[in-house]
Amino acid sequence: MELSSYSLYFSISLLASISIGPSVILAASNGINFGRKKALAGVCGHVSAILILALISASGLGLILMASDLAFTVIKYAGAGYLLYIGMAIWRSKGQWAFADKSTKIPAKRALFKQSLLLGLSNPKALVFFSALFPQFIQPIQAILPQFLLLAGTSLCNAFVFTCVYVAVAFRFRHYFLSTIGQRWVGKTTGGIFVGFAAALIAS
């Protein structure tokens, strides 16, 4: 792969990783409520979802799903339903979204990993992203696997680094967020954002 092509892909991947979406909001919320170490489990779940979607896209299944209106619609509404489910669960939660040292119901790392994994897999836009980009940058006359590993690895690294940055920033300024919004409104604010993401996904 030529350096110019890789530089372009890197720039696109970088912008996608910086943009704020449901997974980033969840990671930042975990950082505020449960601390950096707990939130890291969710970051790993988010990155694992990206890897799975990249594999699906590379296998050609992503193009098949994109070509099928019914399959894509099912994925879109299922993803919106899961976003709505998470949003309402956070909205209604009591105590689980307070500071970790004040909460008696701190979720396990496995639960945060699973939640972030399912959230990432429920977003069909990531599937479209990889299915649209990979054919543009992978050269069929060259070995496919090394190119896929380079492109997918770049996206995984960018996603991991910048999601961790959001977690660190959220954790660093957690007292500001809670003092500004009010501790009892942290869950409601986060939950409302997820409901908004669900509505936007349905309307897209």
DSSP codes, 101-113: GG-S-PPPHHHHH
- What distance in Å separates the CA atoms of residue 80 and residue 6, rounded to the nearest whole number? 33
Number of H helices, E strands in the chain: 10, 0
Number of neighbouring beta carbons within 10 Å of residue 75:
18
Burial of 137 from C-beta contacts in 10 A (0-12 / 13-18 / 19+): middle
- What distance in Å separates the CA atoms of residue 186 and residue 94, rounded to the nearest whole number? 11
Confidence (pTM): 0.71
| pLDDT tens per residue, range 37-88 | 889 999 999 999 999 988 888 777 556 656 667 766 776 677 677 667 766 7
- What distance in Å separates the CA atoms of residue 163 and residue 25, rounded to the nearest whole number? 9
- Which residue ranges make up each domain of the chain? 3-11+22-75+92-182
